[in-house]
Amino acid sequence: MQIEVYFSYSFVSPNSTIYKVKDSTYKPEIIESSSTTVKDVLSKGWRLSHAIKTSQSAQLESFNFILIFEKE
């Protein structure tokens, strides 16, 4: 099974911009040049398995999420 991790600064719809997270043992990094949407990732056969909110705020601009996609 393949796993990809993405980050969204404001995940409110399948068309929200998301960024791939660079896997690192020291400090994970967001790859700004990897912008895409959930809709595009799903169209490539990936399945959204987890959406983890990273902030306690209910403000729309604070809907930061870690998104984990899986593919067989």
| Average pLDDT rounded to a whole number, residues 31-35 | 93
Q: What integer best gives the mean pLDDT of the chain? A: 88
Q: Are strands 36-37 and 47-53 parallel, antiparallel or unpaired?
A: unpaired
Assess whether pLDDT exceeds 80 at residue 60.
no
State how far the alpha carbon of 34 is from the alpha carbons of 3, 5, 21, 39, 56, in Å: 16, 12, 9, 14, 26
pLDDT at 71 exceeding the cut of 90: yes
For residue 34, how many other CB atoms are within 10 A of its CB?
13
Beta bridge partners of 47: 70
Distance of CA 68 to the CA centre of its chain: 6
Question: Over the stretch 3-26, which tens digit does the pLDDT of each residue have?
Answer: 999 999 888 899 999 999 988 767
The pTM of the full predicted model, rounded to 2 decimals, is 0.84
